[in-house]
Amino acid sequence: MVLCFEVGRETKDKMDDLVSSRQYRDYSELLAVSVANQFLFHNSKSAGERAEAGAISIPPAEGRATRVDGLPEEKRAESDRPVPANRQLEDSAIPPIFRHSVAIEGQVDVAPLPNDAFATGMEIPVDRWVFGQHNKLLPAKANVRALANLSHRDPKRSGVELDSASREIANAAARLGELFRSIDLQTGRSRDEAFGLAFPSSDPSNNDKSRLRYASQFVGAVSKEGRMTGLLIDLKLVNVDRQKPPRIRLTEPGRRFAELSNPLMDGLDANQQAKFSTEELEFMLGHISEHVPVEAFAYSVTLRAIAEGHNTPEGLDLALKKYLPERVDKPFTDAFLTTQRAGVISRMADLTLVTRARHGQNVTYVVTERGEEFIRKGEK
């Protein structure tokens, strides 16, 4: 939909400043975010709440009288309160499916790790790396937590049906994403640091499409050939039972990752800067190094290339191109390589292996101390 409107010069200058800050892709995203935030503001429960300094609104779940996150409609009002940015996040702000609970520490029938075509130390072509659009790891944390909670509904503790779990998790993730995006706006987080990216939209105009994307990419989907795809199985945090309908189960690393406390989902303050605790970071890096050779190889070669001076998007693409196989019938495009590079950079940034330094419109990548340690361990 295209809308035309008039603004004064002062407003236009402010819009230019916001877009040039690179926190928004373009004017369309800036306006969409502004309208959404204004809508949340006007739908706070009272004028007093709207006037409360630093209040972040938690949006309702599209007003449907259905269960989308494990809470009946009449109880969801408790979790639709504004969340002050300078206070701790109340338990009710986080959809119950993503909360840490005593239940997830109980016995769960874990699945074996998925089979792997590659072994540690092998050179792995870029087209076999984790798909670049699977570019954020906070959804992976949220979803293994959700699967751990959902597994306890089954008295046999033998996992959950993939389709129903994907739908329920994606519905609840839309609400979690709105909370995170509200925090991003309130605290002025840049796109590079944002918590809410990758979570589905609750905008009625595209929520179905957004949730389907989230469900297939960040929970999982099964192809006609019976192969499961998605970030969780790529990272070997889940596996699928070849039943009809398919059932998804956490692996032992997935269960352990779900149990670890998270600084965003487990009650810390909204001004918290990190997506993951030190324990979570160390666990995931150890798991990837030991069990996920595809991701470990992608991290190692990308970090080394940056350390050797290929520290811009264009320079890094050139350095990684040697790992892109030639394909006569349908050659890989430069855009595909860029997508793969952007994905691995984003996942490494979530794990604090790299940071992005921005100089106007230009970006350079910097290997962190944790990234240097990852390189050293890989060379042993």
187 band by pLDDT with thresholds 50, 70 and 90: confident
pLDDT: is 12 or 346 the higher one?
346
- Residue 244, pLDDT score: 82
21 band by pLDDT with thresholds 50, 70 and 90: very low
59 band by pLDDT with thresholds 50, 70 and 90: very low
Residue 23 has pLDDT above 50, yes or no: no
60 band by pLDDT with thresholds 50, 70 and 90: very low
The token duo for 287 is 């798991």
Contact present, 226 and 162 (Cβ < 8 Å)? no
Question: How far is C-alpha 141 from the geometric centre of its chain's CA atoms?
Answer: 8
Q: How far apart are CA 303 and CA 291, in angstroms?
A: 19
- Residue 71, pLDDT score: 34
pLDDT: is 275 or 32 the higher one?
275
- Residue 157, pLDDT score: 60
How do residues 204-257 score in pLDDT, each as one tens digit?
766 688 999 999 999 999 888 888 999 999 999 999 987 788 899 999 999 999
- Neighbour count for residue 199 (Cβ, 10 Å): 26
- Residue 256, pLDDT score: 95
Residue 89 has pLDDT above 80, yes or no: no
Q: How far apart are CA 289 and CA 283, in angstroms?
A: 10
- Neighbour count for residue 156 (Cβ, 10 Å): 7
Please say whether the dihedral angle defined by the alpha carbons of residues 63, 151, 235 and 336, taken in this order, is positive or negative. negative
Three-state secondary-structure class, residue 367: strand
How do residues 301-360 score in pLDDT, each as one tens digit?
999 999 999 999 999 999 999 999 998 888 999 999 999 999 999 999 999 999 999 988
Among 197, 189, 162, 141, residue whose Cα is nearest residue 351: 141
Q: How far apart are CA 16 and CA 23, in angstroms?
A: 11
Q: How far apart are CA 316 and CA 338, in angstroms?
A: 9
Q: What is the DSSP string of 89-152?
A: PPGGGS-GGGS--GGGGS---PBPPPP-S--TT----GGGSPPTT---SHHHHHHHHHHHHHHT
How do residues 250-287 score in pLDDT, each as one tens digit?
999 999 999 999 999 987 555 678 899 999 999 999 99
168 band by pLDDT with thresholds 50, 70 and 90: very high
The token duo for 1 is 């939909």
The listed range with the strongest mean pLDDT (44-53, 81-90, 224-233) is 224-233
Q: How far apart are CA 349 and CA 150, in angstroms?
A: 29
pLDDT: is 137 or 183 the higher one?
137
- Residue 269, pLDDT score: 59
Which run of H or E residues covers position 322? none
Prediction pTM value: 0.76
How do residues 92-122 score in pLDDT, each as one tens digit?
589 999 998 755 555 678 999 999 999 988 9
Residue with tokens 């503001």: 41
Residue with tokens 């350095």: 319
